[in-house]
Chain A
């Protein structure tokens, strides 16, 4: 594993045994169905997909909050699956999760200062006084008033609560922050504040982000690379700008085509590709390519043979028998995207 890979997930599968649809019969629901990805040091890897496609499950498997059914997660070169709780602890400290719901994820009966300090107390990393100092510092870092330490979560707005969650996630100096829909519950102006804050923190503390969201605009904005999930699988992964400009998978292409656009220039709108029907139940996965029943370009082979996840263009992985826009997709690796201020 090369040095710039912080975390490598290989063929992760996570099944839930779903509550019985056909009485008594337990059909395993493969919420994550063989996901492989690398997270590189210092990058933001975005994961985008519609609800139920397995994003949160994948995030929890990666930070070892959920045991994987099969597959491997290597972090800093160490295999994490199969470790005991105690063995995991030093690695878990390095990986912190930020949740979507700033309301449900903060204990309403503890002061926000205690909430932010808790991970340090639990891990016994510092003395009482040092923890208090550090909590104050963290409050300043995320743009909160350190004089509000003694207040309770309900006294804060949604955006402020998300800052509290971010402060908590930073308290143990993690190298990887996994953010699961961190701005989805926020109004757009507050969302912009939190996104800008996360970008500043990344630069300042050298953080690596796994950033999960269903909003395609948000994911493009924050990510260096993007993975697109459908029904528990990553169907396309690549450099963010390249993927948005020349989507290779028909699902990515359709998804991008229906994002409401502001049409604030005279550039013609991307033609809408409406995909019909609903996402199938993961316990009733279609044969061949999981997307084939809804795919506008599917053929016979798509119904029988599962497409391999292969690198079709430098740095661009895709699982599809009939990839799109190949002519337009560059044959060379794009230069690294300059950091956005």
Chain B
């Protein structure tokens, strides 16, 4: 993805939902996109798949999937990408399921739309898929309707649908946000195992840094439609560089360590209608300088980039003060 920009013309003005996002996803890589609500995570992923259905949307940039430009494909061409080489998992499993058909019927349709299969073969494959995602008694479950499954089981069905065409890339938008922590663990575990077995790449969108730390190889921290920081997961979590990432990590109350003082980011998320030209985070940043009225470039070393004007020396000084104050 190169310099993706997505904006909506609304009555109140132009909403720059995504404002210059670039990244690569390697084979078998798990890329996490994290940010608070409204930061543009969903819009970014939906727009590359032609799923933003809004007459007032404007999309620019370039998205190449296996070398082929997919931004601006026709509906029909896009349909063969979606559910074919790219699978999708949503926060609400019912986005991907139809309430009026059995899951068996839906899986068979999906399989036959993208593969040359007889009904019989498709049925057999559907049963295998349900078994693979850990649904007990898959043969009889094929005859059940989505509402007859629990939330966690329904998400498994959606994963089975997504897997049905051996996708090279799986896009998961908050796949565990609606689930309880024990069910979330089951689903993350399943995604990890499937990813190993099928060798697909995953882009996972979440607001939960913990989920990122559990599953992602690399992470993008989004703020107001722009990437604040990009890097290998361990680097970003252990040596975050952007003040927004400091705040985001420091604000999480932890279950695994004795709690320290919670860091708060002052103010509220910036209005999407009024993202400043300079650093998007400037209005809430405790370290704002004069130069922050200019837009900071995304730069750094060793694959660890951030968009902030602070020098390394300044960051070091700020972080050591924070540490002695007991913040994370």
* B185 A258 Cβ-Cβ under 8 A: yes
Is A244 an interface position by the 8 A CB rule? Answer: yes
With both chains docked as a complex, state the minimum distance between the C-beta of B121 and any C-beta of chain A, in angstroms. 30
* A264 B182 Cβ-Cβ under 8 A: no
Which listed segment binds A: B40-48, B263-271, B298-306? B263-271
| Chain A residue with the shortest CB-CB distance to B150 | A278
Instruction: Report the tally of A-B residue pairs with Cβ distances under 8 A.
Output: 122
* A196 B252 Cβ-Cβ under 8 A: no
* A187 B36 Cβ-Cβ under 8 A: yes
Evaluate whether A216 and B261 lie within 8 angstroms (CB atoms) in the complex, with A189-B247, A260-B211 already known: no
Evaluate whether A189 and B265 lie within 8 angstroms (CB atoms) in the complex, with A263-B237, A270-B256, A272-B189 already known: yes
Is B78 an interface position by the 8 A CB rule? Answer: no
User: What residues of chain B lie closer than 8 Å to A160, measured between beta carbons?
Assistant: 268
* B209 A262 Cβ-Cβ under 8 A: yes
User: What residues of chain B lie closer than 8 Å to A214, measured between beta carbons?
Assistant: 180-181
Is B253 an interface position by the 8 A CB rule? Answer: yes
* B237 A159 Cβ-Cβ under 8 A: no
User: What residues of chain A lie closer than 8 Å to B208, measured between beta carbons?
Assistant: 260
With both chains docked as a complex, state the minimum distance between the C-beta of A102 and any C-beta of chain B, in angstroms. 13
* A258 B182 Cβ-Cβ under 8 A: yes
With both chains docked as a complex, state the minimum distance between the C-beta of A175 and any C-beta of chain B, in angstroms. 25
* A220 B180 Cβ-Cβ under 8 A: no
- Expressed in whole angstroms, the Cα–Cα distance for A260 and B210 within the complex equals 5
Is B76 an interface position by the 8 A CB rule? Answer: no
Evaluate whether A220 and B254 lie within 8 angstroms (CB atoms) in the complex, with A187-B207, A189-B247, A278-B150 already known: yes
Is A255 an interface position by the 8 A CB rule? Answer: yes
User: Interface size bucket, A side?
Assistant: 35 or more
* A274 B189 Cβ-Cβ under 8 A: yes
* B210 A261 Cβ-Cβ under 8 A: yes
Is A341 an interface position by the 8 A CB rule? Answer: yes
Is B70 an interface position by the 8 A CB rule? Answer: no
Is A193 an interface position by the 8 A CB rule? Answer: yes
Is B7 an interface position by the 8 A CB rule? Answer: no
User: What residues of chain A lie closer than 8 Å to B184, measured between beta carbons?
Assistant: 258, 260
User: What residues of chain A lie closer than 8 Å to B188, measured between beta carbons?
Assistant: 260
* B265 A261 Cβ-Cβ under 8 A: no
* B264 A188 Cβ-Cβ under 8 A: no
- Expressed in whole angstroms, the Cα–Cα distance for A262 and B249 within the complex equals 9
With both chains docked as a complex, state the minimum distance between the C-beta of A45 and any C-beta of chain B, in angstroms. 16
- Expressed in whole angstroms, the Cα–Cα distance for A215 and B252 within the complex equals 11
Is A157 an interface position by the 8 A CB rule? Answer: yes
Evaluate whether A187 and B238 lie within 8 angstroms (CB atoms) in the complex, with A217-B255, A221-B262, A261-B256 already known: no
* A278 B252 Cβ-Cβ under 8 A: no
Evaluate whether A217 and B251 lie within 8 angstroms (CB atoms) in the complex, with A258-B184, A275-B182 already known: no
Interface string of B93-113 (1 = CB under 8 A from A): 000000000000000000000
Is B258 an interface position by the 8 A CB rule? Answer: yes
- Expressed in whole angstroms, the Cα–Cα distance for A160 and B259 within the complex equals 25
A-B contact pairs, 12 of them (CB 8 A): A187-B36, A189-B248, A192-B264, A219-B255, A255-B182, A259-B255, A259-B256, A260-B184, A260-B214, A261-B254, A261-B255, A265-B238
For residues 46 through 100 of chain B, which have their beta carbon under 8 Å from a beta carbon of chain A?
A: none
B185 partner, pick from A274, A278, A340, beta carbons under 8 A:
A274
* B214 A221 Cβ-Cβ under 8 A: no
**Residue of B150, B189, B265 ringed by the most chain A CB atoms within 10 A:** B265
User: What residues of chain B lie closer than 8 Å to A244, measured between beta carbons?
Assistant: 255
Is A201 an interface position by the 8 A CB rule? Answer: no
With both chains docked as a complex, state the minimum distance between the C-beta of B191 and any C-beta of chain A, in angstroms. 13
User: What residues of chain A lie closer than 8 Å to B181, measured between beta carbons?
Assistant: 50, 214, 216, 255, 258-259
User: What residues of chain B lie closer than 8 Å to A258, measured between beta carbons?
Assistant: 181-182, 184-185
Interface string of A190-207 (1 = CB under 8 A from B): 111101100000000000
| Chain B residue with the shortest CB-CB distance to A266 | B238
14 new A-B pairs (CB below 8 Å) besides A50-B182, A188-B209, A261-B256?
A: A50-B180, A187-B269, A189-B36, A189-B248, A192-B264, A195-B253, A216-B255, A220-B259, A256-B255, A262-B213, A262-B237, A262-B254, A264-B213, A278-B183
User: What residues of chain B lie closer than 8 Å to A256, measured between beta carbons?
Assistant: 255-256
- Expressed in whole angstroms, the Cα–Cα distance for A137 and B225 within the complex equals 37
Is B195 an interface position by the 8 A CB rule? Answer: no
| Chain B residue with the shortest CB-CB distance to A259 | B255
With both chains docked as a complex, state the minimum distance between the C-beta of B251 and any C-beta of chain A, in angstroms. 4
* A217 B253 Cβ-Cβ under 8 A: yes
Is A218 an interface position by the 8 A CB rule? Answer: yes
User: What residues of chain A lie closer than 8 Å to B211, measured between beta carbons?
Assistant: 260
User: What residues of chain A lie closer than 8 Å to B279, measured between beta carbons?
Assistant: none
| Chain A residue with the shortest CB-CB distance to B35 | A187
For residues 161 through 204 of chain A, which have their beta carbon under 8 Å from a beta carbon of chain B?
A: 187-193, 195-196
* A217 B268 Cβ-Cβ under 8 A: no
User: What residues of chain B lie closer than 8 Å to A274, measured between beta carbons?
Assistant: 182, 185-186, 189
Is A118 an interface position by the 8 A CB rule? Answer: no
- Expressed in whole angstroms, the Cα–Cα distance for A110 and B272 within the complex equals 27
* B237 A188 Cβ-Cβ under 8 A: no
Is B199 an interface position by the 8 A CB rule? Answer: no
User: What residues of chain B lie closer than 8 Å to A188, measured between beta carbons?
Assistant: 36, 207, 209, 248, 251-252
Is B152 an interface position by the 8 A CB rule? Answer: yes
- Expressed in whole angstroms, the Cα–Cα distance for A264 and B323 within the complex equals 14
- Expressed in whole angstroms, the Cα–Cα distance for A218 and B251 within the complex equals 10
Is B153 an interface position by the 8 A CB rule? Answer: yes
**Residue of A189, A195, A244, A270 ringed by the most chain B CB atoms within 10 A:** A189
* B213 A261 Cβ-Cβ under 8 A: yes
For residues 196 through 252 of chain A, which have their beta carbon under 8 Å from a beta carbon of chain B?
A: 196, 214-222, 241, 244
With both chains docked as a complex, state the minimum distance between the C-beta of A254 and any C-beta of chain B, in angstroms. 7
Is B37 an interface position by the 8 A CB rule? Answer: yes
* B189 A196 Cβ-Cβ under 8 A: no
| Chain B residue with the shortest CB-CB distance to A272 | B185
User: What residues of chain A lie closer than 8 Å to B210, measured between beta carbons?
Assistant: 259-262
Is B328 an interface position by the 8 A CB rule? Answer: yes
Is A51 an interface position by the 8 A CB rule? Answer: yes
- Expressed in whole angstroms, the Cα–Cα distance for A96 and B94 within the complex equals 37
Which 9 pairs between the two chains have the least Cβ-Cβ distance?
A260-B210, A221-B253, A258-B185, A192-B251, A50-B180, A216-B255, A187-B36, A189-B265, A217-B253
